[in-house]
Amino acid sequence: MSNSDSTVLATNLHRSSSGTKAMSILPVLNHRPMIDGHGRTIDHLRLSVTSACNLRCLYCRPGTGSSKCRSDLSDTQRLEFIEYLYEKRGLRQLRLTGGEPLLHKSIVELVARIRNAAPNLSLAMTTNGQTLSKFANELRRAGLDRLNISLDTLDPQRYESLAGGRVDRVIRGIDAAIDAGFPPPKLNSVVLRGYNDEQLVNLTEWAFERSMEIRFLEAMPIGPAADFNRRYFVSASEIRKILEDRYHLTSIPRNRGETATRFHASRSTVVGTIGIIAPMSESFCGQCRRMRLTADGKLFPCLLDSRFQDISPCWQHSAFQVNWANELIDQSIAGKKLTGEFQQESGMVTLGG
């Protein structure tokens, strides 16, 4: 995305006499929490490690073929940024995303380096599960805490039509993750009318049999899939109605910053947890404590807003410039709004969901 294509947050960077960018000097404090203009503490980063993906989910990236990765930050740059946020700016949660993060060639090493640098950081990953069976043991040993896995249908033909992949690979990945010692992964299902909306109970039963929480998501009208998602949109109220016809649902209090409305679900001897994520009909923007960093170094304060800060200039002469990073981080979160405006032109495959 070029500056001419989007509204990029202004920076107060100056040019030195040599013509290179210099920055205003800011004090580096021992600990300075990231607090936005509305008093919200931002302590959760979603880090996209690659823009490549081996699926073509219709609600994310319609079309054929695999997406390809652009010029990225290095793992060392990512690690330096994370370590700084963790030690000085109050980062408490990190989620690794893509594209598909397991396509990143050094993903296991990156997890191990993050865990070594930030031992108390909550470290999770969202994956489509296509190659998870190959990596589950290594990821667990490297220090990954937990997994979210995308699973929109159990039907092989529908899965291939919707996502362009194989559902049996996802199931093998889930089994491998549990065998590796991960807590039962959370399942993410985007609900689409005519594609999987009549299969919600089957998905729920399958998840409950394996002691997994399942979360149903409203499709979001952003990026190249915006028109498709509007056409096949299913609201949270419709999702609840489908589930209430089969289960008794009891609300679970929502934690600060949590995106899902969660329910204890019970029917006879069947019991489990269901989450519904409703960014369209039941916005949770006001409680958001997230920011997103794309694989190529764009820091987005909001999933639904095209504005970003490019943090790649934070590295000058191979050294991480703390003052520069502070200024860009502060300006980014200062622009975070109370409600999303659904003006995001980039696709989920770039933003990491």
Q: Quote the pLDDT of residue 302.
A: 82
Take residue 105 and report the two structure tokens written for it.
Answer: 């060639």
Q: Quote the pLDDT of residue 158.
A: 97
Q: What is the pLDDT of residues 140-187, one digit of tens each?
A: 999 999 999 999 999 999 999 999 999 999 999 999 999 999 999 999
Q: Is the pLDDT of residue 1 over 90?
A: no
The residues that bridge with 292 in the sheet, in sequence order, are 46, 300
Take residue 303 and report the two structure tokens written for it.
Answer: 């999933």
**Distance between CA atoms of residues 324 and 331, nearest Å:** 11
Is pLDDT larger for residue 242 or for residue 25? 242
Q: Is the pLDDT of residue 45 over 90?
A: yes
Q: What are phi and psi of 313, to 5 degrees?
A: -70, -5
Query: Cα torsion for 50, 162, 132, 118, to the nearest 10°?
Result: 40
Element (H, E) at 138: helix 132-142
Model-level pTM? Answer: 0.87
**Distance between CA atoms of residues 186 and 211, nearest Å:** 9
Taking the domains of the chain in order of start, what are their residue ranges?
32-351
Q: Quote the pLDDT of residue 26.
A: 39
Q: What are phi and psi of 115, to 5 degrees?
A: -60, -40
Q: What is the pLDDT of residues 82-110, one digit of tens each?
A: 999 999 999 999 999 999 999 999 999 99
Q: Quote the pLDDT of residue 131.
A: 98
Q: Minimal CA–CA distance to 288: which of 259, 329, 262? A: 259
32-351 placed in CATH 1.10.10.10: no
When pLDDT is averaged across residues 52-76 and rounded to a whole number, the result is 76
